[in-house]
Amino acid sequence: MSSGKEISYPNDVKYAASHEWVKIDGDTAIVGISDYAQDALGDIVFVELPTVGMELKAGDAFGVVESVKAASDVYMPIGGAIAATNDALKDAPETVNSDAFGAGWLLKVFPYNAADLDKLMDAATYKSKIESGEIH
């Protein structure tokens, strides 16, 4: 899918092929979904997030992001313990659309498995794989 809007690919996060991003902030990893993902999903109306304290591995489904049309699973880009979830999304799930890399974050992970970072993509690689259709 594509639209006329310009998709942003900030450089200060790393990306999973399943369209989640990770940003390292001190000893915590912050997780969200990419601008490409929110744009593809459309109006987000519901976000279901895991219980704080759960330990999950990279690749595990941790929740669901629902648009008007469909429910999509979201996957851990990095393993670790869920330290916090973004409670503000309960009342304002559309924040994921408007600010996917900022106020629309989903999880904080602490401690996290730093080795998983090596398997993630930088912005240029993620962007080129989307534009070539290798991931979609």
Partner 1 sequence: MDLKRTPLYDTHRALGAKMVEFGGWEMPVQYQGILDEHRAVRNAAGLFDIDHMGQVRVTGADALKFLNHLLTANFSDMEINSAKYAVMCYADGTCVDDTFVYRLKNEYMVVVNAGNRDKDNAWIKAQAAGFDIELKDVSDEFYMLAFQGPKAEAVLQKLGTFNVADLQYRHAREFSLGSERGIIARTGYTGEDGFELFVPNARGKEVWDAILEAGKDDGVLPIGLGARDSLRFEAKFALYGHEIDAHTTPIEAALGWACDLNKNFIGRDVLLKQKLEGTTKKLVGFEMLERGIARAGYEIASNGNVVGVVTSGMPAPTLEKNIGLGYVPPELAKVGAEFDVIIRGKPTKARVVKTPFYANRARGK
Site residues (vs partner 1, CB under 8 A):
1-5, 40, 42-43, 45-46, 48, 64, 66-71
Rounded to 5 degrees, φ, ψ at 74 are -120, 145
Quote the least distance from Cβ 12 to partner 1, whole Å. Answer: 27
Select 74 or 120, whichever has its Cβ closest to partner 1: 74
Please, which residues bridge with residue 71 across strands? 66
CB of 42 vs partner 1, minimal distance in Å: 6
Least distance between partner 1 and beta carbon 40 (Å): 8
H helices of the chain, where?
35-41, 88-91, 95-98, 123-131
**Cβ-based nearer residue to partner 1, 22 or 89:** 89
The smaller minimum CB distance to partner 1, of residues 40 and 58, is found at: 40
Hey, what's the torsion of the CAs at 77, 127, 97, 52, to 10 degrees? 10
What gap in Å lies between CA 112 and CA 82, rounded to an integer? 9
Which CB, 29 or 85, lies closer to partner 1?
85
Find the shortest distance in angstroms from Cβ 96 to partner 1.
13
Q: Write down the residue that tokens 């534009």 correspond to.
A: 131
